[in-house]
Structure 1
Amino acid sequence: MASNSEILDCLIVGGGPAGLTAGLYLARLRRRFMIIDGGAPRAAWIPKSHNIPVFADGISGPDLLGRQRDSLVQYGVSPVAGTVSGLRKQPDRFIGVIEGEGQSRQIAARRVLLATGGVDIEPDLPDLPNAVQRGLVRYCPICDGYEARDRRIAVIGYGDHGLGEAIFIARTYSPDVTLLTLGQRLQKPLKRQEELDALGITVVEDPVERLDLEDDRIAALHAGGRELRFDVLYSALGLKYRSDLALSLGAEHDPSGSLIVDIHCQTSVKGLYAAGDIVRGLDQIVIAMGHAATAAIDIHNHCEMPTEDEPGGA
């Protein structure tokens, strides 16, 4: 960690699995850094993930984050609660504007690692806001689809992403899959109609009119005059990426706003790195941790070297 008057080696923005992993690496590499945690990591929504190595019985998102924070304590590191509302680049440093506890301050760092992730787009279900955050609708069949194998599964989505996830689940986990478009009409003819037919995927384009909740779960959905019952519901509506800080500096990104990075997880803005869901590719915790480790080591290796746009830069 470092005092406010120092120029940090790295400012880490985000206190989820990627940001905390980067903090562990940089602490052990004896670097001056700070983790700014907005307090809303996407991983905190996970009831239980089963594909994180060494946790044979699975682990919940909050438990994982707690263990990661505990592992930083022995190095004297604690994430700082707050948000980074602005980021400016100067020839030899970045200036981050930190908001927290009713005040604003500025932090200078030679390099910045963005681990800000994304927010799942919630399905528009009747009288049920934040269904994904509440755990009533799942969002990661790669993480927990194995536990839903051979059960009745509904995928909420439309467009290529919704179709793709329904086909993935039907090919991998269950022969009983329904795609719910929530009233959105799919463009006909569908590019993947043959796959839908071959896998026996049912498509329901009627809007959901009401829900039946039992024991803190969605027991039934009513659409088009029918009662639909499923064991598991997944949302496939995509993410809103928290990439505004990078985009404000002109970082290269894809049409969805996720960032494009090099093999060291550095963006097209020299000295600006990214890790986790904010990076284009698979949104997986172990991948986020790998991004963070890769970025942290590269940051360490270049701490005494100027970036390419600084005087004397390579």
Structure 2
Amino acid sequence: MKLNRTNLEQRLDHLYDVIVVGGGAGGLSAGIYLQRFRLSSLIIDKGKARSSWMQSLHNYLGLPPDTSGRKLLQQGKKHYDSLAGDFLDGYVEEVTDAENIFEIQVKVGRQNSRNVKFYSKYLIVASGIIDHLLPLEDMQNVYDYAGYNLHVCMVCDGYEMTDKLCGFFAGSEASIEEMVFNLSWFTPKITIFTHGLFEVSGQMRSQLQEYGYRLVETPIQKFLGENHQMTGVELVNGSVIELETGLISMGARYHNTYLQELSLEMKGGNLVTDKLGRTSHPRIFAIGDLKVGLNQVVVAAGDGALAATQIWREIRKDIGPRKWLMNLKLPT
């Protein structure tokens, strides 16, 4: 059931088997499996999943290559709804563990918002990350190309950049060191843009020169192109650099602040989990981009299936086998 302000009351005292934070590919996958396992689940989604602005999923098995991330999520929501799962558009602000029951505090509504609490036995966190994009005065100019031929994931879209003139938009020297030399597997025609945000060391300059990679430190005025296809950049000094594709690597924001009071084991910005997605808390599972691993839509969907299945196994074990009451022999 789609929850909203008018029907929230009937669920506020309900104890869910599982609450899933995040309605992206991983969260929807988990919810679908939970409902098929005849468990009660609620997905709380803040909106703007990372995959929602991917214009084409070229690497998702079985889907037409022009399938958008938004279309994938729409289909996932329809599937989840058909299985009678609860879904709420809201922002999770805090999670507390109170005597083996999670209390999830949620803000509902952007204007005249309402704060409510939901309760569950288990928690699946699938709230993901959002990539930092190049900070221009006109951000719409970035959105016109991001998700088309201006990419944020080399693993997802490196193939799309093969042997093309590629702009690498770096947020730090560490991102250059981590990404550029791997990006050259797909294309060596790389121009690195710092946008004047940081200094590049002499050692890194020498490395880039050794491989013939161009370094541009002058800030960017705007992207150039049409019909969502970026063809280059114009710098603040008026010069133009032609490009055929681009990769932004400026870091990301992890949507995990609501977990701060739970002291979960972390590695950098990611949650540490076992192979089934269980975190250092036995009843909290992390899936998708929040956990250590590969940031891929298809991986997140698999993570959701694994976490949901493990939770079902544990609840099933606690409850035990069901009896066929009509077939029991009457006492003699």
Question: Shorter-chain-normalised TM-score: which range?
Answer: 0.7 to 0.9
Structure 1 residues 166 and 303 mapped into 2: Cα distance closer, same or farther (>3 Å)?
A: same
Q: CA deviation at 1:268?
A: 1.1
Residue 122 of structure 1 pairs with residue 157 of structure 2? no
SS of aligned partner of 2:72: helix
For 1:128 and 1:217, locate their aligned partners in 2 and report how far apart those are by CA, in whole Å.
16
Cα deviation digits, residues 74-113 of structure 1 (max 9, x gap): 2123521112111110122100012214322211111100
Report what 1:54 is aligned to: 62
Residue 180 of structure 1 pairs with residue 193 of structure 2? yes
SS of aligned partner of 1:160: helix
Report what 2:31 is aligned to: 23
Aligned letter for 2:177?
A: L
Aligned letter for 1:115?
A: A
Q: CA deviation at 1:217?
A: 4.5
Aligned letter for 1:11?
A: I
For 1:62 and 1:211, locate their aligned partners in 2 and report how far apart those are by CA, in whole Å.
24
For 1:32 and 1:78, locate their aligned partners in 2 and report how far apart those are by CA, in whole Å.
8
Report what 1:288 is aligned to: 300
CA contact (8 A) 2:41 2:85 kept: no
For 1:132 and 1:234, locate their aligned partners in 2 and report how far apart those are by CA, in whole Å.
14
Q: 188, 201, 206: which one pairs with 2:213?
A: 201
Aligned residues: 302
Q: 102, 106, 130: which one pairs with 1:94?
A: 102
Q: CA deviation at 1:56?
A: 4.2
For 1:49 and 1:76, locate their aligned partners in 2 and report how far apart those are by CA, in whole Å.
28
CA contact (8 A) 1:151 1:176 kept: yes
For 2:285 and 2:126, locate their aligned partners in 1 and report how far apart those are by CA, in whole Å.
9
Cα deviation digits, residues 137-187 of structure 1 (max 9, x gap): 32123223323322111110132223332222211x223111111112212
Aligned letter for 2:80?
A: L
CA contact (8 A) 2:22 2:125 kept: yes
Structure 1 residues 13 and 58 mapped into 2: Cα distance closer, same or farther (>3 Å)?
A: same
The structure with the larger Rg is: 2
For 2:144 and 2:301, locate their aligned partners in 1 and report how far apart those are by CA, in whole Å.
22
The structure where helix makes up a greater share of residues is 2
For 2:317 and 2:226, locate their aligned partners in 1 and report how far apart those are by CA, in whole Å.
59
Report what 2:271 is aligned to: 259
Aligned positions of 1:105-120 closer than 5 A = 105-120=116-131
For 1:120 and 1:217, locate their aligned partners in 2 and report how far apart those are by CA, in whole Å.
20
SS of aligned partner of 1:131: helix
| Stretch moving more, 34-43 or 220-229 | 220-229
CA contact (8 A) 1:170 1:201 kept: no
Q: CA deviation at 1:214?
A: 3.8
Q: 184, 188, 196: which one pairs with 1:170?
A: 184
CA contact (8 A) 1:13 1:36 kept: yes
For 1:108 and 1:305, locate their aligned partners in 2 and report how far apart those are by CA, in whole Å.
21
Structure 1 residues 130 and 33 mapped into 2: Cα distance closer, same or farther (>3 Å)?
A: farther
Residue 160 of structure 1 pairs with residue 174 of structure 2? yes
CA contact (8 A) 1:243 1:259 kept: no
For 1:293 and 1:13, locate their aligned partners in 2 and report how far apart those are by CA, in whole Å.
15
SS of aligned partner of 1:303: helix
Q: 72, 81, 87: which one pairs with 1:73?
A: 81
TM-score by length of 2: 0.83
For 1:65 and 1:133, locate their aligned partners in 2 and report how far apart those are by CA, in whole Å.
21
Q: CA deviation at 1:27?
A: 0.8
Q: 275, 281, 287: which one pairs with 1:269?
A: 281
For 2:65 and 2:127, locate their aligned partners in 1 and report how far apart those are by CA, in whole Å.
28
Report what 1:230 is aligned to: 243
Aligned letter for 2:126?
A: A
Residue 299 of structure 1 pairs with residue 311 of structure 2? yes
SS of aligned partner of 1:79: strand
Q: CA deviation at 1:216?
A: 4.3
Aligned letter for 2:183?
A: I
| Stretch moving more, 103-112 or 15-24 | 103-112
For 1:54 and 1:219, locate their aligned partners in 2 and report how far apart those are by CA, in whole Å.
31
| Stretch moving more, 217-226 or 232-241 | 217-226
SS of aligned partner of 1:186: coil
Q: CA deviation at 1:220?
A: 3.3
Report what 1:220 is aligned to: 232
